[in-house]
Amino acid sequence: MMELIPAIDIIEGRCVRLKKGDFASVTIYNDDPADLVASFYKAGLSRIHCVDLDGARKRTPVNLATLTKMVASAPVKIEWGGGITSLDDVRTILSMGADRVIVGSAAATNPDLVKEWLNEFGSKKIVFGTDIKNYKIAVHGWLDTVDRNLDEFIAFWLAEGARYFLCTDISRDGLLEGPAVELYKKIKRQFPDAFLIASGGVSCYNDLMELEKAGADAAIVGKAFYEGKITLNEMQTFIHHAG
């Protein structure tokens, strides 16, 4: 059973989407992310993936007031990322009601620091964001890459006790051209113990079926929903099929 997780990307408190992580190509979809959370919850979706894009760019959490509103709007589990660089950031976000934090750039650039977070909060509270550009790990809102490939990153963090890995192929993100199914098959073959959250490129209901067949443990649905390519009804159908 593959979990379905709708995505809400936030700039200045509003729901937006980027194309291939490009801040110059922003589309605003909804002024109030809290309303979206409520509608997802009514449709039976129990977890929401949220990225503070202002935070990712500024390397410090920015849209925390929006997180507070979203938590209050429905009893869903929110995983929150963007600009998390310190133990205090993690503490603050979890104390405000987020269920998990997404750590990307810090995990690639400052592993000793993130080991402390993993030790303090445990593997159930931290999702390791593995954003990929030409098989290298991208950081800082996808503006830079580091000299470490995906296999090394996952192997390192699994050995440290991590469990959740959110894998995004940036070349497909926001383009509605289909997910990187072969990549996810490869990851699950190589790292069967990793809980793999597939992200980027989902364009239709059939893509969800393909990701499930590929062995993904969860899938993020973002632009496809906002552009009407996957409806809430279809998301409900998938949940019932998966269940």
Residue 88 to residue 103: CA distance in whole angstroms: 13
The number of beta carbons lying within 10 Å of the beta carbon of residue 188 is: 17
Q: Out of 131, 173, 207, 217, which one is annotated catalytic?
A: 131
Q: Which residues contact 240 (CB under 8 A, 6 or more apart)?
A: none
Distance CA 39, CA 190 (A): 37
Q: Is 37 helix (H, G, I), strand (E, B) or coil?
A: helix
User: Could you say which of 9, 99, 173, 217 is catalytic?
Assistant: 9
Q: Is the C-alpha dihedral spanning 89, 95, 97, 99 positive or negative?
A: positive
131 catalytic, yes or no? Answer: yes
- Residue 124 token pair: 């159930």
Please count the other Cβ atoms lying within 10 Å of the Cβ belonging to residue 27.
Answer: 14
| Contact present, 148 and 132 (Cβ < 8 Å) | no
In angstroms, the CA 15 to CA 30 distance is 5
* 54 counts as catalytic: no
Which residue type, as a one-letter code, is found at position 234? Answer: E
Please choose, from the candidates 159, 143, 63, the residue with its C-alpha nearest in 3D space to the C-alpha of residue 109: 143
Active-site residue set: 9, 131
